[in-house]
Amino acid sequence: MQHSSITEAPHIDIQDMDFTYSARVRLFDALRWRLERGSITGLLGKNGAGKSTFLRLVAGLLQPHGGAIYQAGVRPGDRSLALLQSQFLVPDAFEFPARSRVSSYVKAWSAFYPAFSFEKFEQILSDFQTSSARRFGEMSFGQQKKVHIAFALATNCPLLLMDEPTNGLDIPSKSYFRKILGRFLADEQSVIISTHQVKDVENLIDRIAVLEGGKMIFDQTLDSITQQYSMGLSTSLPEDALYHELMGGGYQFLRQRREGETQTPMQLELFFNAILSGKVNLTNGL
């Protein structure tokens, strides 16, 4: 028996989604959002904003209490085989069987993903300087996280959801993580990376979406942001600065980009803090 498959990167369409954990606490309130195919999106928000819950809703592990979520026209909560084979979630918290070898675990679970590449899996593990011959019980949390990331990329799923993927990784491994995603992702794949460590993904993502107060309050490409705003460091605060932070003996600042001015590099943490402080025009971000 053959099953249909979803081969294109899912276009996520969230329509007026509500979700509550209790009658008194509404986490999401009529949230609307759309994800274009082929983007690497950084999902940002303060602790408690609901980033992990959002990914679980998109994956179909939780059901919205109002509104709807669609992946390529399919509701994730229906748990169709084709949709499950087209997505992979790397959770922040997980537990592998301690006595199992990585190779045995991968052999068992890879059968679920028709496009799984053992060659890619082994190459990524090698780049991460670990081996599939090891047992999970012999590995640190960070090493197990590397296995999870390698497995996710080896599935070749059109949609990858990653919840705090750099947690537990040392500084060299974080650098490898960015290089690996840049090397092994296909143009048509979509990735959502939920993180509070924004500097870890600054040079990797091409758009940001910000959760706050039960809504998606901002959604723009990084190129669009740097076309509108300039970010820099100065010993004196520019008069037209919209937002600033003290840094050493000077100021890290955000201001409107002037006509004809060269685009400045993105400073994601600064810009994220400016959004939360209300210094960015959110009507231009959605």
Tens of pLDDT along 55-77?
A: 999 999 999 999 999 988 889 98
* Residue ending a domain, choose from 164, 179, 213: 213
Single out the residue of 44, 46, 74, 49 nearest to residue 59, CA to CA: 74
* CATH code of the domain in which 100 resides: 3.40.50.300
Tell me whether residue 7 is in a domain: no
Tell me the mean pLDDT in the region 138-148: 93
Q: Which residues pair with 231 in a beta bridge?
A: 254
Tell me whether residue 259 is in a domain: yes
Single out the residue of 255, 258, 282 nearest to residue 267, CA to CA: 255
Does residue 137 sit in the same domain as residue 276? no
Does residue 149 sit in the same domain as residue 274? no
Across the chain, mean pLDDT equals 90
Asked whether residue 286 carries a pLDDT value surpassing 80, the answer given is: no
**pLDDT band for position 8 (50/70/90)?**
low
Does residue 92 sit in the same domain as residue 203? yes
Asked whether residue 125 carries a pLDDT value surpassing 60, the answer given is: yes
The whole-number pLDDT of residue 97 equals 87
Per the structure, the complete domain to which residue 148 belongs is given by 12-213
Does residue 201 sit in the same domain as residue 243? no
Of all residues in the chain, the percent with pLDDT exceeding 70 is: 95
Asked whether residue 281 carries a pLDDT value surpassing 90, the answer given is: no
Does residue 193 sit in the same domain as residue 84? yes
Tell me whether residue 5 is in a domain: no
Tell me whether residue 55 is in a domain: yes
Structural domains in the chain (count) = 2
Tell me whether residue 218 is in a domain: no
Asked whether residue 2 carries a pLDDT value surpassing 50, the answer given is: no
* Residue ending a domain, choose from 213, 231, 257: 213
Does residue 271 sit in the same domain as residue 196? no
The terminus-to-terminus CA distance of the chain in angstroms comes to: 43
**pLDDT band for position 273 (50/70/90)?**
very high
Does residue 162 sit in the same domain as residue 186? yes
Does residue 209 sit in the same domain as residue 156? yes
Asked whether residue 39 carries a pLDDT value surpassing 60, the answer given is: yes
Tell me the mean pLDDT in the region 80-97: 90
**pLDDT band for position 26 (50/70/90)?**
confident
Tell me the mean pLDDT in the region 225-238: 94
Q: How does pLDDT run across 190-220, given as a tens digit for each residue?
A: 999 998 888 888 889 999 999 999 999 999 9
Of all residues in the chain, the percent with pLDDT exceeding 90 is: 70
Asked whether residue 285 carries a pLDDT value surpassing 60, the answer given is: no
Tell me the mean pLDDT in the region 14-39: 89
Does residue 21 sit in the same domain as residue 135? yes
